[in-house]
Structure 1
Amino acid sequence: MRTFIAIDTGQKISSIVDTVVERLKRMGFKASWVVGNNAHLTLAFLNEVDREKVELVASMLSKRLRGFPTFTFSTGKLGFFRHKNLPRVIWIGVKPSVVLNNLFRETRVALESLGFNVEENFHAHITVGRMKFSPPYWKKLIETVELEEVIVPVNEISLFKSELSPEGARYTKLFSCSFEGGLIKHDF
């Protein structure tokens, strides 16, 4: 199954993502939009992983992250990844956080010990949409979208399954790894 490891960003971010998507649509942007309930901060994309290995990954992460401190991160401005002078992905930024970077590093170490290749460059963000069309003056339009700063509490990470369809991606939480110790297996 297609899997990734992420922080569930909660209901407040979910609402903001839905609001931003509606605003960008009205401005003329076309994209594969993220549904607010699917909003998350990805730590690592694992690609296709068989069911047994998914359980091994969850177990390893749970052990590695036991005792990791609960923390918060704050959202920032709307931003984008560019490709050939057009936005490829539009996202909600995340303000720099030493603890969030440490969480990424610990996650990467656990995954690499199981043979996964994880990108070394970590750019914390919450994806809003993968662009298909951008209107003229797209950069100025993006700059007009002001976001409320949200403080997101983090006390666990989760392993998700991603299923792609013409209606968009559907994410299912498979496991949650609590920093206080403990692995929760969700029905899948």
Structure 2
Amino acid sequence: MSQIRAFLAIDLDDDLKPKINKIIREFKKTDARIKYVELANLHLTLKFFGDIDTEGLGLLEEAIANVVSQFDSFKIRIAGCGAFPNNKRIKVIWVGIDEDSIIKDLHDKLDKEFVRLGFDKDKRFSTHLTIGRMKSAKGKDKVKSTIEEFSDVEIGEMEVDRIVLKKSTLTPAGPIYEDLKIFEL
């Protein structure tokens, strides 16, 4: 039985990536040890499945298709910058997505189906795009001030008209993502 590492995501529109890249360049000036997400890989994760059996992909795809059929496309606004768990203990640097009730509703309905299929229920769901992960505390103060500088940054709007089931292959150079199936809203 073979397994793949998989997740469900909303990809970021290409026309918004240069604006996020400007923010990343500012963080790079801090000389902090940050592992940045490749621009091509920027996405909002709706569900991380981890390692799953490929035999169950059909059931998973069917559950996603059933939920997605209940939704029309919608707009989201990308704005702001912050850190998890907080600005005092920075582990993840993110760009925000306005908390949208449609995304929350989509996530909750999907998660309900995933629980039915045997996956753990998400304990927390946060609409964000991870742009980097701190590898050490070096430069933390400069990173914190850069986060504060971009806390109200406006990046733009995008239309969400699809979600994507992706395969993630971990490599020493970083993850490689492959679209397994696209679900149109």
Q: TM-score, normalised by structure 1?
A: 0.87
Q: 1:174: which partner in 2?
A: 180
Give, in angstroms, the shift of residue 84 of structure 1: 9.8
1:130 paired with 2:133, answer yes
2:161 pairs with 1:155: yes
Contact in 1 for aligned 2:164/2:181 (Cα 8 Å) = yes
CA-to-partner distance for each residue in 1:98-135, whole Å, 9 max, x for gaps?
11111111111121111111313211000001111341
Q: Of the candidates 61, 66, 87, which is equivalent to residue 58 of structure 1?
A: 61
Instruction: Report matched runs for 1:63-102 at 5 Å.
Output: 63-82=66-85, 85-102=88-105
RMSD: 1.8
Residue identity in the other structure for 2:75: T
Conservation of the 8 A alpha-carbon contact between 1:89 and 1:129: yes
The alignment-based identity, stated in percent, is 27
Does structure 2 conserve the Cα–Cα contact (< 8 Å) formed by 1:16 and 1:36? no
Q: TM-score, normalised by structure 2?
A: 0.88
After superposition, the Cα gap between the structure-2 partners of 1:84 and 1:140, relative to the gap in structure 1 and judged at 3 Å, is: closer
Unaligned runs of 5+ in 1: 180-188
Query: Aligned pair in 2 of structure 1 residues 93, 84: CA closer, same or farther (>3 Å)?
Result: closer
**What secondary structure sits across from 1:92 in the alignment?**
strand
2:147 to 138, 142, 148: 142
How many residue pairs get matched?
A: 179
CA contact (8 A) 2:11 2:43 kept: yes
Contact 1:79/1:92, CA 8 A, preserved across alignment: yes
Distance 1:103 1:84 in 2: 29
- Measure how far apart 1:169 and its partner are: 1.3
Q: Separation in 2 of the partners of 1:118 and 1:176?
A: 23
- Aligned letter for 1:135? G
CA contact (8 A) 1:76 1:92 kept: yes
